[in-house]
Amino acid sequence: MILTQNIFEYWTQNTEGWLYVLVLALIAALYLTFFAVAGLLLVLMERRVAGFFQLRLGPNRVGPGGSLQTIADALKLVSKEIFMPKFADKLLYKAGYYFVIIASLLGLSVIPFSAHFQAFDINVGIFFITAVSSVGVLGILIGAWGSRNKYSLIGAMRSGLQMISYELSAGFAVITIVLLAGTLQMSEIVEAQRDTWFIIKGHIPALIAFMIFMISGTAESNRVPFDLVEAEAELGAGFHTEYSGMGFAYFFLAEFENMFIIAALAVTLFFGGWLAPFGITDALPGQVFWGLFWFFLKVLIVIFVFMWFRWTFPRLRIDQLLVLEWKYLLPIGLVNIVLAALIVWQGWLFEPLKWLGL
């Protein structure tokens, strides 16, 4: 099936030997570059959006329109002294950020950016993402434990609570869509939405699942109103209090990458991934480009919503966070799965285009 052909297979069809390895390395380099550039751009976007919400301009001095500001910030972080607390557990302290960064890199690898533009198109893609995203919390936990700081530890414990709780809800929201799509493979989930996006096709359960996914996605990426992990008014900087320079930068970058992954997942699951709305660009040449265009447009809109949350809402308290998950979101999510199953079983899907014979 042509669909399962990913970026790797696409470029290595007729290659052998060292060329094969070279293509492999190039793709890896491409992803790493994307990882870094996307992080920098997202930080810039966050700051500009923050400025927009806060009656100010945001960075606008370095480069045209402030576009080089985050690069300057990154250079500053690279050149900073790497400080380690005297009593820190060296191994755990240093291992912390690698866990976090590798978790988000792995998550990125199965995201379908466009047709064939996907590093691994494994048949359990969505399951793989939920699995690797839980690895990140390990990094936070051991990093904070290793830095021997009470503020870090409180932040890490909150992080553990938060991740364990909200992964369930996020998982249930994903399962709702898996029921509609009938597959765990990311590319096929996208392809199943060629007629109608799942948010429309699945009507009520899909809408509920989308809301649950957005809430738990915000919680998983540790953003306001669920940023208890770093809650700067309470814990200073939370789990990364003792990190400086690149250690801090890795945590910071991973946070933004996680937000990107959550947004990309939301787009893939609910808004048809890289598919154009109503197929308006399907006839045009350069399908890979148009796929990328629509994918990033949708992802940026979802990310904007996340940023909107961040610059508007106050923060929850830890017990309220758990109450929200275990008393509200989880039961709603469970009922929602049954509802979705019923709808799929009875075929009560909402497909206006099909009804109109289009």
Partner 1 sequence: MSEQVITHSDIKFQEYFLNMGPQHPATHGVLRLILTLDGEEVVGIEPDLGYIHRGIEKMCEYDTYRQIIHLTDRFDYLSSHMNNEAVCLAVEKALEVEVTDRIKVIRTMMDELTRIASHLLWWGVMGMDVGALTTFMYAFRDREMINEIMEKTTGARLTMSYNIPGGVMFDLHKDFQKDVKNLIAHMRKVLPEYDRLLTGNVIFQRRMKGIGTLSKEDAVNYGATGPVARASGISCDTRKHEPYSAYNRVKFNEVIETAGDNLARYQVRMQEMYESLDILEQLVDNIPEGDYQVAMRNLIKLPKGEFYQSVETARGEFGVFIVSDGKKNPYRVHFRSPGFNNLNALLKAGLGGKIADLVATMSTFDFVIPDIDR
Task: List residues near partner 1 by CB under 8 A.
Answer: 50, 53-56, 150-151, 154, 224-225, 227-228, 231-236, 310-320
Nearest approach in angstroms of CB 262 to partner 1 is 19
- 237 or 340: whose CB is closer to partner 1? 237
Closer to partner 1 by Cβ: residue 88 or 231: 231
Residue 327 structure tokens: 């008393």
State the minimum distance, in angstroms, from the CB of residue 237 to partner 1. Answer: 9
Cβ at position 313, least distance to partner 1 in Å: 6
Nearest to 180 by CA among 348, 64, 10: 348
Beta-carbon contacts of 261 under 8 Å, excluding residues fewer than 6 positions away, are: 104, 107, 108, 111, 129, 133
Q: How many Å is the Cα radius of gyration of the chain?
A: 21
Nearest CB to partner 1, comparing residues 235 and 263 = 235
CA 198 to chain centre: 19
User: Of the two residues 46 and 220, which places its CB atom closer to partner 1 in the complex?
Assistant: 46
Cβ at position 295, least distance to partner 1 in Å = 30
Kindly state the smallest distance separating residue 35's Cβ from partner 1, in Å. Answer: 27
Ranges of H-type helices in 54-120 = 69-78, 90-109
Closer to partner 1 by CB, 191 or 230: give it.
230
Please list, in sequence order, all residues whose beta carbon lies within 8 angstroms of the beta carbon of residue 118, skipping any fewer than 6 positions away: 6, 7, 110, 111, 112, 186, 187
> What is the dihedral angle through the alpha carbons of 298, 299, 303, 306, rounded to the nearest 10 degrees?
80
